Every structure is written in C-alpha cells, then in structure tokens.
Chain A
C-alpha cells in the first residue's frame, strides 16, 4: 500500500523549508520579549530578563486596554453571541418558521456580500446616529451582529444533528417551550454553545477595524488598537513594550485555540476567518 510519496529525504527537506517559512516571521516574538535591549532583528538575548513585561505592566493605558477593555468587550460579545445564536438556531431548527431554509441561504449570502469592507461606512453612520459612537455598547453590538450569521449556522448544524425524542416526550407531558429549551435542550447543546462562544471571543479579541472606527476615546480602546498605536502612530515604536505586549495579548487566543482543537478539531475555525 501507500507510496504516493516522493523519497523520504526529499519530503523531510521540504518539510524543514516549509517549517522555516512559517516560523521565521514569528521568531522575533520568541526572543524579543525576554531581551532587555531588543531591536527588530531576531537575536538571542544576552541576558534573559522579564523587564519588558514590567514596562508593559506599569503602563496604565496598555493594561487597561488589555485587562479591562478587551476583556469586557470580548466577554460581552461572547455571552451575547452564544445566547442569541443558541436561541435563534433552536427556533429555526425546532420551530415552525415558514421558508426557514431559504432564510438560512439568504442569510449566508448576505453575510458574505455585506463584509466589513463594504459596511464600514453605514455602520459608522448608524452607530453615530444611534448615539453609540465612542461607547462600548456600539462596538459590542456591531461585533455581535457580525458574528451571528456564522454562529447561527454552526449552532443550527449542531442542533439538527440532535434527536428530538426527549424534547417531544417533554412536550407530550406538558412542559412549556422555555422549560424544554432550558432543561432538556440546553444541556445537550452545551458543546455547540461552547464552540460558538469561544469563536466569538477569539473573533472579538482580534478585531481591529470595528473598535478603531467606533471608539475614539483612547481610554476605552481594546488591546488590538492599543497595540497598533504602540507601533503605528508614534512613528518610533517602543519595541520593548511591543514585544512583551504582543505575547500577553496573543496568549489567550492561542490557549483557547488549543482548547477547541483538543476537543473538536480544526473544522470549526473555518467559519470565523475573514
């Protein structure tokens, strides 16, 4: 069997080249955070030090952006997206909504046509007119709105795959809809809800354009925008802060990814990209 395979050494050689291709641009972040005198090149630190982290931790704006603004915005987006997507997907899957399949297709079409690039102007105007410019709520609701279509697809897929018999038994014995949802359906949906919640969190945590245009107050900006300002706005990047901050900011995403991957595999990550 097997043997759609070039020679072993050739494959290993190519593997090394590919690994280097992917790792080289990232190598800076492996060494620079621990280097007291970093520059833009990849170099082994002469002395290993945590000073850079101290610099960042004592920077009030950076820490507020990360621990307060980013956590609050992403946490809210996560809770709202998971709750609303679970309800809507349950309604679509178990309910009696005319044309629900066409509705799902139209939603899919809309969500790929009205992208961030196309909708940034009207969303800015909408948020501005609603009086939500420069508020957390404006950014949170926009991010939830953007995350919902994909989240509903994932949830609906998940719910459609769960047999209805327990819910039907409960219905026959007279339980109300809310009670069926809460006590019978929700416990079995928990893995799906968790995946949607994590994807929403990761998406919001990394989002840059929405908070950039909707939040102008420097004290309210999340870590993505704060990080960008560390190197983008000031012309001369504060390299020590950038290095350590990047690591602190990226860590939660990598950990959550590992969690999802360990439990469910990659396939769910396709949905959130873009």
Chain B
C-alpha cells in the first residue's frame, strides 16, 4: 500500500507531541510505576524510612488485607465496603436511575419545566466542589438546616444527618451532585431514537410500561452500560465527600479515596498509601477495560 505523505514529517510530528508527552509521562505514566514500586517499601516523609526506604515485600498488602480486623472502623475492608455502598447507592441507583427518569420524563418535550429542571441539575453539577460542600453543610444542619425544615412540614422530627447518618448523607449529596451527567447522556441517546418506533407501538396499543421495557430499554442498552461504567469509575474515585464529612464521624463515611489521603498524606506513610493506590488502580483498570470493550463494540463497523 502506498502511503500518502503526511503533512508533518515524522520528526516534526514528534516535536509537536513531545511537550505534552513529557507532562503526561511525568504526571500519569511515572506515578503509575512509582505507586507500584513504592507499595513494596516502607517509605515515608520523615524519619529513617524517608532517607533510606527499605524493601518490605508484601507487608503493606498483608496489612491491608489483614482479615482479622480489616472490617473494623478505619481499616481498609471497612472503607472498601463503605465505598461499595456509596457507589451502589449514589451512582448506580441515584445518578443513573434519576438521570434516566428525568430523560424519559422530558422525552420530546421542550417546555419551561424541562428547561428549569435541566438548568438546575447542571448548576448542581458544575458549581465548584467546595461551594457545593458548604451548601450541603448548611442544608443538612441539624438545627436550622433546610432539609430538617422541609421534613418538619411533614411532621418528621429533626435529624442530625452528618453525625448519625453520614453515609446516607454523602449518598444523597453525590446523587444530587452528579445526576446531570447521566441525564444528559440519556437525553442525547433518546433524541437519536426514531420516533416511528414508539408511534408504531402506540398504534398497536402497547402500554407505557411496555413501550419503556420493550422499545426504549433495549435501544438504550449500550448507553446505559456506558453510563454505569463511567459513573462507577468516577464515583469510586471521588474525593469530594471529604469536604462534607472529612470521612467521619469515626470513619463512618471514609471512602477509599479519603482512606488513601489519610494514610498517604496525613500520616505520610507513602508505602502503605501506595499499596491502597495499587488496589484502586486495579479496580479502575477492570472498569475502564469493560468501558473500552463496550465503546469499541458500538463503533460503526
């Protein structure tokens, strides 16, 4: 096969790519290998282990997976379990469920309400983390917070959300925060479905539930899979709930990201923190690979 000459010679194209490649190697590729190698050492910021880190083999990993007490509060297993519940509740049920619900509710509508709901959901999504976290801090305040005031209208007595229900709080928080992405993704997928499918179904008298289950759902299948994988990946890695609860009280909302931060950057146990990061990366790798397979399979042949 004869190749057409490219606009840039090989040397020129390398010159164009190099500056970005240097930074990507430094901040993406290097950390990847650095995490793996550090996880087998006892490196830390201060003390003897800082100047002269020792190779400790699998010690960091055996500490992490010490099944005797790994489910006690503040240990890795407990943090992992909290994260699983958080991902399940806030991403898979909360964001994806609510996002799909909104997209279908406003399917082929362009009225004021659609505009209002979409705008508010997007504002919740793009406002900076620290501001949103404070908004929720005020919203959940046990004495004067809006949530308790609203529940009070229905005769529900005030709750101390962040103290007594920290996990529920961050699940609600993250659902509210991130629904816009799924909503927009599903909306754009729905808008590409030919209206004739549903019209035909209506003509032959299919119920709304049948139309949803037998027409929309199968057509949305790959979009739903894509959405679930992406938001699982992001939610699994999010650090934002730290701003609301700091992982507490007594580690009850300590997600894996917050656990990593505490071990690695508050206690400065780099070795132990890296071992957690390796586990996180392995889980990410599985999720990302599934995503790539789905993305590839839906590409037009």
Check B126 against A257 for contact (C-beta < 8 Å): yes
Centre residue among B138, B150, B292 by max chain A CB count within 10 A: B138
Centre residue among B27, B212, B277 by max chain A CB count within 10 A: B27
Check A109 against B277 for contact (C-beta < 8 Å): no
Q: Which of A84-130 contact B (CB under 8 A)?
A: 84-85, 87-88, 90-92, 94-97, 105, 107-126
Check A11 against B129 for contact (C-beta < 8 Å): no
Check A4 against B243 for contact (C-beta < 8 Å): no
* B260 in contact (CB, < 8 A): yes
Chain B residues, Cβ within 8 Å of A5: 107, 109
* B144 in contact (CB, < 8 A): yes
Check A94 against B117 for contact (C-beta < 8 Å): no
Chain B residues, Cβ within 8 Å of A125: 34, 38, 43, 270
Check A149 against B128 for contact (C-beta < 8 Å): no
Select which of B130, B185, B264 is within 8 A of A120 by beta carbon: B264
* B222 in contact (CB, < 8 A): no
Select which of B35, B38, B138, B195 is within 8 A of A40 by beta carbon: B138
Check B13 against A24 for contact (C-beta < 8 Å): no
Select which of A3, A29, A91, A112 is within 8 A of B291 by beta carbon: A112
Nearest opposing residue in chain B for A32, CB measure: B138
Known A-B contacts A18-B102, A146-B27; A228 and B234 likewise in contact (beta carbons under 8 Å)? no
User: In the complex the two chains form, what is the Cα distance from A125 to B288 in whole Å?
Assistant: 26
Check A6 against B150 for contact (C-beta < 8 Å): no
Question: What bracket does the count of chain B residues touching chain A fall in?
Answer: 35 or more
Centre residue among A2, A120, A181 by max chain B CB count within 10 A: A120
Q: Which of B118-135 contact A (CB under 8 A)?
A: 120-135
User: In the complex the two chains form, what is the Cα distance from A55 to B195 in whole Å?
Assistant: 56
User: In the complex the two chains form, what is the Cα distance from A96 to B12 in whole Å?
Assistant: 9
Chain B residues, Cβ within 8 Å of A269: 126, 184
Nearest opposing residue in chain B for A105, CB measure: B292
Q: Which of the segments A46-54, A56-64, A164-172, A187-195 contacts the partner chain?
A: A164-172
Count of interface residues, chain A, beta-carbon cutoff 8 Å: 100
Chain A residues, Cβ within 8 Å of B38: 121-122, 125
Check B277 against A118 for contact (C-beta < 8 Å): yes
Min C-beta distance of A226 to chain B, whole Å: 9
Nearest opposing residue in chain A for B261, CB measure: A120
* A1 in contact (CB, < 8 A): yes
Chain A residues, Cβ within 8 Å of B288: 108-109, 112-113
Select which of B136, B216, B261 is within 8 A of A25 by beta carbon: B136
User: In the complex the two chains form, what is the Cα distance from A180 to B16 in whole Å?
Assistant: 13
* B145 in contact (CB, < 8 A): yes
User: In the complex the two chains form, what is the Cα distance from A24 to B13 in whole Å?
Assistant: 51
Min C-beta distance of B152 to chain A, whole Å: 11
Nearest opposing residue in chain B for A257, CB measure: B126
Check A4 against B107 for contact (C-beta < 8 Å): yes
Q: Which of A164-222 contact B (CB under 8 A)?
A: 164, 167-168, 171, 177, 180-181, 202, 205-206, 208-209, 213
Ordered nearest first, which 8 A-B pairs have the shortest CB separation? A95-B13, A145-B27, A91-B16, A15-B113, A88-B20, A41-B144, A22-B120, A206-B128
The residues of A with any CB-CB pair to B shorter than 8 Å are 1-6, 11-12, 14-16, 18-19, 21-29, 32, 39-42, 84-85, 87-88, 90-92, 94-97, 105, 107-126, 141-142, 144-146, 148-149, 152, 164, 167-168, 171, 177, 180-181, 202, 205-206, 208-209, 213, 224-225, 227-228, 231-232, 237, 242, 246, 249-250, 253-254, 257, 266-267, 269-270, 273-274
- Would you give 9 A-B contacts (Cβ < 8 Å), ordered by A? A28-B135, A40-B141, A42-B149, A85-B20, A118-B278, A122-B30, A224-B130, A250-B127, A267-B188
